[in-house]
Amino acid sequence: MSPRRYKITVDGTSHDVEVGDVASSPVRVNVDGVEYDVEVPGKPARGQSTNPAPSAPPPAARPAAAAPTPTPSAPSPGASANAMTAVMPGRVLTVAVSVGDSVSRGDLVCVIEAMKMEQQIGSTRDGTISAVHVSDGDTVAHGQMLVEFE
Does residue 124 sit within a domain?
yes
**Is 140 found in the same domain as 93?**
yes
Any domain includes 23 = yes
- Does the pLDDT at position 79 exceed 60? no
- Inside any domain, residue 113: yes
Query: What is the reported pTM?
Result: 0.50
Please tell me the predicted confidence (pLDDT) of residue 57: 55
- The Cα 23–Cα 136 span in angstroms is 37
Alpha-carbon distance of 71 to 37, in angstroms, equals 18
Both 131 and 90 in a single domain? yes
The parent domain of residue 83 ranges over: 71-149
61 falls within a domain: no
d(CA 75, CA 42): 35
CA distance readout (Å), 115 to 12, 36, 38, 53, 74 = 13, 11, 11, 35, 20
* Count of the separate structural domains present in the chain: 2
User: Band of the pLDDT at 122, cuts 50, 70, 90?
Assistant: very high
Q: Within a domain: residue 26?
A: yes
pLDDT reported for residue 78: 44
Pairing between strand 4-10 and 13-19? Answer: antiparallel
Average pLDDT over residues 113-134: 93
Residue 52 lies in a domain: no
Confidence at residue 90, expressed as pLDDT on a 0 to 100 scale: 94
Q: What is the pLDDT of residue 64?
A: 52
Whether residues 20 and 76 share a domain: the answer is no
Cis peptide before 58 (omega within 30 of 0): no
Q: What is the CATH number of the domain that holds 89?
A: 2.40.50.100
- The pLDDT assigned to 84 comes to 93
Kindly report, residue by residue over 7-63, the tens digit of the pLDDT: 888 777 888 888 888 777 788 888 888 888 887 776 666 655 555 555 555 555 555
Does a structural domain hold residue 97? Answer: yes
Q: CB-based burial of residue 109 (10 Å sphere; 0-12 exposed, 13-18 middle, 19+ buried)?
A: buried
